[in-house]
Structure 1
Amino acid sequence: MTQQPKSPKNTNVQALFDKIAPEYDRMNNIISLGAHQKWRKKLMQQMTIPAGANILDVATGTADWAIALAKESDAASQVVGLDFSSEMLAVGQKKVNLTAYAECITLVQGDAMAMAFPDNTFDIVTIGFGLRNLPDPMLGLEEMFRVLKPGGQLVILETSQPDNPLIKPFWQLYVGKVMPTFGKVFARGKYNEYKYLDETTEHFMDYMSLGKLMLTIGFQKVRISRFNLGAIAVHYGTK
């Protein structure tokens, strides 16, 4: 596999996720205070998964969403989880193997900005907390649009920024100071790695800008839901 391009902050994100893979699930629970599973469950209640669906989870990481999608699908559906980090996928594969859905979930290593899937392949494409780590989010969205079937749905779960002036300073403190400290304390001293991830959270486009970008690419029926006082946003779009 070719080396991934570096992020705009000149960080090798693939190597970063390889490094944090062993602690990733535990850190997700700590940083989100366990809420990330509730966000995903809530947004999936708004999704309609057709019978025999082909589903792609981009930036699948340790496969939590891929497993949840398989659980909510019928037996004829297939879920593909794509990620560029072999270490994250290794953790994810162990989890998949312990479920009843191992035969319908396939984890593959690949580049979200140049996916090796034909046009119009998937009924549903999801990406959770991965778009902001792509060197070119627009290119990633264009690829997701390309591999979706006409009428297929994209669902993006991503960090966002609160716009309430009373809330935003506390959010900035949590993101900028508290979360990196969690990385140092709970993730074997990985302060710099979590500092980078927190900076991508703080500087990623706001929810309205992402919605407009989806429309520019060609997605229709774009709608947005927000959680945690605006710190988390879900974007739905149809090809």
Structure 2
Amino acid sequence: MSLTNNTPEPQVQSLFKRIAGNYDRMNNLISLGTHKHWRKVAMAKLAVKPGSFVLDLCCGTGDWTIALAKAVGPSGQVVGLDFSKDMLAVAKKKIAAAGLNDRVTLVQGDAMDLPYDNDHFDVVTIGFGLRNVPDANQVLREMHRVVRPGGQVASLETSQPTQPVVKLGWKVYFKLIPMMTKLAVHNYQDYVYLERTAAEFVNAKKLAEMYANAGFKQINYQTFDMGAAAFHSARKSYTEK
């Protein structure tokens, strides 16, 4: 399993610029709508408190950012960070429509080199972004750096089924994804890339080990749909200053 994404960053930037307008539609199609359930479970397990200061990395079109903003309430703040200005433009419209401009700030930035001080946020999340960054381990280290001692981090990400029959079935399904997108939005090659990053990313157990290597404690994870996706959560030790 690959821990790094070797596709040049400008190419990835260009890809997300092309797919931004159809990203939500295709997410619903590819996951058969189950990503909404995954996020609901993640939010329940995170139990974000009102008034919290949250960073949502690789926020894309803002779905998890919006859920977090509702959880922190009027007294809290959420920063949504993404490297694609086109994805952020979609997120901006959705956040405004949800009436959450008072508690959300959108920032174009690099998840591997965050423009924030150490021990800055109460909660840091990343949804379906680890597999698309050049170095997932570096992103986890940055998450560890900017979350406060005792603070919580979490990720939602595609994963790898471990049961052989299920694993074979998911491989077949992932191979169909580019064809589905070609029929739906006439965009084949971009989703070949996204299919590849999903198929090559690590399984849930390995990702938990990566969390540990980044310095996190109290690491827990839950898989969804026979291993198709996984939610991980962890904390930064109170003893780290």
* TM-score of the aligned structures, taking structure 1 as reference length: 0.94
Offset at residue 144 of structure 1 (A): 0.8
Offset at residue 7 of structure 1 (A): 4.1
Residue 52 of structure 1: SS of its match in structure 2?
coil
1:236 is aligned to 233
2:177 is aligned to 179
Paired amino acid for 2:234 = G
Paired amino acid for 2:94 = K
Trace 1:89-168 onto structure 2 (pairs within 5 A): 89-168=88-167
Paired amino acid for 1:21 = A
Offset at residue 206 of structure 1 (A): 1.3
Offset at residue 99 of structure 1 (A): 1.1
Residue 123 of structure 2: SS of its match in structure 1?
strand
Q: Is the 8 A contact 1:115 1:143 kept in 2?
A: yes
Residue 195, structure 1, aligned to residue 188, structure 2: no
Work out the CA distance in 2 between the residues paired with 1:13 and 1:7.
10
Q: Is the 8 A contact 2:5 2:197 kept in 1?
A: no
Paired amino acid for 1:213 = M
Offset at residue 9 of structure 1 (A): 3.4
| Sequence identity (%) | 45
Work out the CA distance in 2 between the residues paired with 1:193 and 1:101.
31
Paired amino acid for 2:168 = P
Paired amino acid for 1:179 = I
Residue 161 of structure 2: SS of its match in structure 1?
coil
Work out the CA distance in 1 between the residues paired with 2:228 and 2:203.
10
Q: Is the 8 A contact 1:183 1:191 kept in 2?
A: yes
Work out the CA distance in 2 between the residues paired with 1:142 and 1:17.
24
* TM-score of the aligned structures, taking structure 2 as reference length: 0.93
Offset at residue 175 of structure 1 (A): 0.6
Work out the CA distance in 1 between the residues paired with 2:55 and 2:125.
6
Work out the CA distance in 1 between the residues paired with 2:66 and 2:47.
16
Work out the CA distance in 1 between the residues paired with 2:136 and 2:42.
21
Residue 86, structure 1, aligned to residue 79, structure 2: no
Offset at residue 121 of structure 1 (A): 0.8
Residue 103 of structure 1: SS of its match in structure 2?
coil
2:29 is aligned to 30
Work out the CA distance in 2 between the residues paired with 1:165 and 1:49.
36
Cα RMSD for the two superposed structures: 1.2
* 2:216 counterpart (205, 216, 219): 219
Q: Is the 8 A contact 2:80 2:106 kept in 1?
A: yes
Offset at residue 118 of structure 1 (A): 1.0
Work out the CA distance in 2 between the residues paired with 1:182 and 1:146.
40
Q: 1:171 to 1:75 in 2, by over 3 A?
A: same
Work out the CA distance in 2 between the residues paired with 1:51 and 1:97.
20
Offset at residue 210 of structure 1 (A): 0.8
Offset at residue 102 of structure 1 (A): 1.3
